[in-house]
């Protein structure tokens, strides 16, 4: 069981606080492959992994997002399991943790330089419109996307789609003006080098932690769907596999976050990221946030949290820890409900660090624009650290 003496407790709190409040740019390894909403810092994840687990331990992230926990777990020699409802999150986390061979890299580089935006004879022809995506952007991306299947392996195709996804996000998301095609092509070439270097960094970090390149894919499991019922998954069928740490950032109750859309020219929402990734997006905001912002949605949210962590309770070892970063639209009302949901699921607040309800660790999130501010949100820019243990 994790225990700290008084001196260790103070040191641990300082390390966790530094990780939570890190303002460093998210970079290194494959963390920069996509800017996913409400992600937490790799420094925070590394700190928690060092304090609460050992190499070889099983780490679960039931709300995996873009895979920060999975990437850092692999780099630290852990075995990781990530789950998410969002096909886009599943896609990004998979690409970020799939190494490429030298042959893969050659194929990808050749493909990128052969298929630049705006150089195709059929540029300007496209079928179904992508809602709220500028027409000229769709016209130059569509011919390139149609050539992705020229690449022989899925890992190559996934990497290229993620490359285009990242560059299109840079050029479109929350921007009022769209870069020129030349600037987008320059961005793609520069980003290609960065992303290939990031994968090499991940492979080197895994090797240093005792995890061979060919074993990386075997040490991470990525599931598309809900974590509710994870205890019934074949991974846990024999009852011998147990997780030592659950490290995650769940959706925030009642907070409007676009996990599945970009904003174009102000506040117009587009499903372009799914189009670029070659995925179908058939769900609305409420699906990805476990209920949405209505009163009924909030009730559904807390019910779902209790069910998800109830399933997780059955697949963690007795000395495991569940560590979460999350935010509320109204802390006074919603924090007690969240803690009650965790209690219902079979978890109690941990006492290895000061984590009673009155001494929880909080952080102010700089430069975060919650749309809920316009809806009377009480606590739009704070996140809380919750540490639980099995009862």
Q: Encode pLDDT of 122-140 as tens digits.
A: 555 556 889 999 888 899 9
144 domain-assigned: yes
Q: Are 178 and 305 in a shared domain?
A: no
Per-residue model confidence (pLDDT) at position 14: 82
Q: Are 296 and 197 in a shared domain?
A: no
- Calpha distance 283→88 (Å, rounded): 12
Q: Are 180 and 235 in a shared domain?
A: no
Confidence of residue 3 (pLDDT cuts 50, 70, 90): low
Last residue of a domain, one of 183, 203, 223: 203
Per-residue model confidence (pLDDT) at position 356: 55
**Cα dihedral 311/252/220/189 (nearest 10):** 160
Per-residue model confidence (pLDDT) at position 122: 55
The residue to which tokens 């890992």 are assigned? 155
Q: Is the pLDDT of residue 317 over 70?
A: yes
Q: Are 233 and 342 in a shared domain?
A: yes
369 domain-assigned: yes
Looking at the structure of the chain, the number of domains it has is: 2
235-251: per-residue pLDDT in tens?
888 888 899 999 999 99
272 domain-assigned: no
Give the list of residues 6+ apart from residue 11 with CB closer than 8 angstroms, or none. Answer: none
26 domain-assigned: yes
Element spanning 164, H or E: helix 154-172
Q: Which residue has the higher pLDDT, 321 or 267?
A: 321
Confidence of residue 1 (pLDDT cuts 50, 70, 90): very low
195 domain-assigned: yes
Would you state the structure tokens that stand for residue 103, as one six-digit string?
A: 């042959």
273 domain-assigned: no
Let me know: does 71 contact 48? Beta carbons within 8 Å: no
Q: Are 65 and 143 in a shared domain?
A: no
- The mean of the pLDDT values for the chain is 89
- CATH for 89: 3.40.50.150
Instruction: Give percent above pLDDT 70 in the chain.
Output: 89
- Calpha distance 125→116 (Å, rounded): 16
Confidence of residue 292 (pLDDT cuts 50, 70, 90): confident
Confidence of residue 326 (pLDDT cuts 50, 70, 90): very high
Mean pLDDT of 325-354: 91
Confidence of residue 257 (pLDDT cuts 50, 70, 90): confident
Confidence of residue 271 (pLDDT cuts 50, 70, 90): very high
Confidence of residue 22 (pLDDT cuts 50, 70, 90): confident
Confidence of residue 355 (pLDDT cuts 50, 70, 90): low
- Calpha distance 70→83 (Å, rounded): 10
Mean pLDDT of 380-390: 88
Per-residue model confidence (pLDDT) at position 371: 47
Mean pLDDT of 362-372: 63
Q: Are 144 and 250 in a shared domain?
A: no
Q: Which of 88-102, 121-135, 223-237, 251-265 has the lowest mean pLDDT?
A: 121-135
Could you tell me which of 130, 383, 91, 67 has the C-alpha nearest to residue 261? Answer: 130
Let me know: does 45 contact 111? Beta carbons within 8 Å: no
Q: Are 197 and 217 in a shared domain?
A: no
Q: Are 381 and 288 in a shared domain?
A: yes
89 domain-assigned: yes
Q: Are 32 and 137 in a shared domain?
A: no
| pTM score of the predicted model | 0.92
User: Strand, coil or helix: what is 326?
Assistant: strand
374 burial via Cβ count (<10 Å: 0-12, 13-18, 19+): exposed
Last residue of a domain, one of 155, 183, 203: 203
Q: Are 176 and 214 in a shared domain?
A: no
> What does the DSSP 8-state code read for residue 129?
P
Q: By residue range, what is the domain housing residue 140?
A: 102-203
Q: Are 229 and 305 in a shared domain?
A: yes
Last residue of a domain, one of 153, 182, 203: 203
Would you state the structure tokens that stand for residue 385, as one six-digit string?
A: 């650290």
21 domain-assigned: yes
Q: Are 109 and 238 in a shared domain?
A: no
């Amino acid at each position: 069981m994790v225990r700290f003496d008084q001196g260790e407790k103070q040191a641990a709190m300082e390390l966790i606080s530094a990780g939570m409040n890190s303002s460093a740019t998210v970079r290194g390894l494959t963390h920069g492959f996509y800017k996913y909403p409400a992600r937490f810092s790799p420094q925070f994840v590394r700190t928690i992994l060092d304090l609460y687990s050992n190499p070889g331990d099983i780490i679960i992230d039931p709300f995996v997002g873009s895979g920060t926990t999975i990437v850092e777990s692999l780099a630290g020699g852990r075995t990781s399991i990530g789950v998410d409802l969002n096909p886009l999150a599943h896609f990004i986390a998979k690409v970020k943790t799939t190494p490429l061979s030298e042959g893969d890299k050659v194929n990808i580089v050749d493909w990128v330089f052969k298929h630049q935006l705006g150089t195709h004879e059929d540029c300007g022809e496209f079928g179904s419109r992508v809602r709220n995506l500028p027409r000229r952007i769709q016209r130059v991306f569509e011919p390139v996307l149609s050539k992705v299947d020229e690449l022989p392996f899925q890992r190559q195709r996934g990497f290229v789609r993620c490359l285009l996804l990242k560059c299109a996000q840079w050029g479109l998301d929350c921007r009022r003006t769209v870069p020129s095609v030349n600037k987008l092509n320059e961005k793609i070439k520069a980003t290609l080098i960065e992303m290939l270097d990031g994968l090499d960094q991940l492979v080197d970090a895994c090797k240093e932690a005792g995890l061979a390149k060919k074993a990386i894919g075997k040490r991470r499991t990525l599931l598309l769907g809900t974590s509710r019922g994870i205890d019934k998954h074949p991974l846990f069928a024999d009852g011998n596999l147990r997780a030592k740490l659950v490290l995650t950032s769940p959706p925030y109750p009642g907070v409007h976050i676009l996990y599945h859309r970009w904003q174009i020219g102000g506040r117009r929402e587009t499903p372009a990221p799914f189009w670029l990734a070659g995925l179908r997006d058939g769900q609305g905001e409420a699906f990805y946030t476990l209920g949405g912002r209505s009163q009924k949605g909030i009730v559904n949210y807390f019910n779902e949290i209790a069910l998800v962590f109830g399933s997780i309770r059955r697949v963690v070892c007795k000395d495991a820890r569940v560590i979460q970063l999350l935010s509320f639209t109204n802390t006074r009302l919603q924090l007690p409900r969240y803690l009650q949901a965790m209690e219902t699921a079979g978890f109690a607040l941990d006492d290895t660090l000061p984590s009673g309800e009155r001494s929880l660790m909080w952080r102010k999130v700089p430069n975060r624009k919650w749309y809920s501010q316009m809806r009377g949100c009480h606590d739009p820019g704070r996140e809380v650290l919750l540490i639980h243990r099995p009862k």
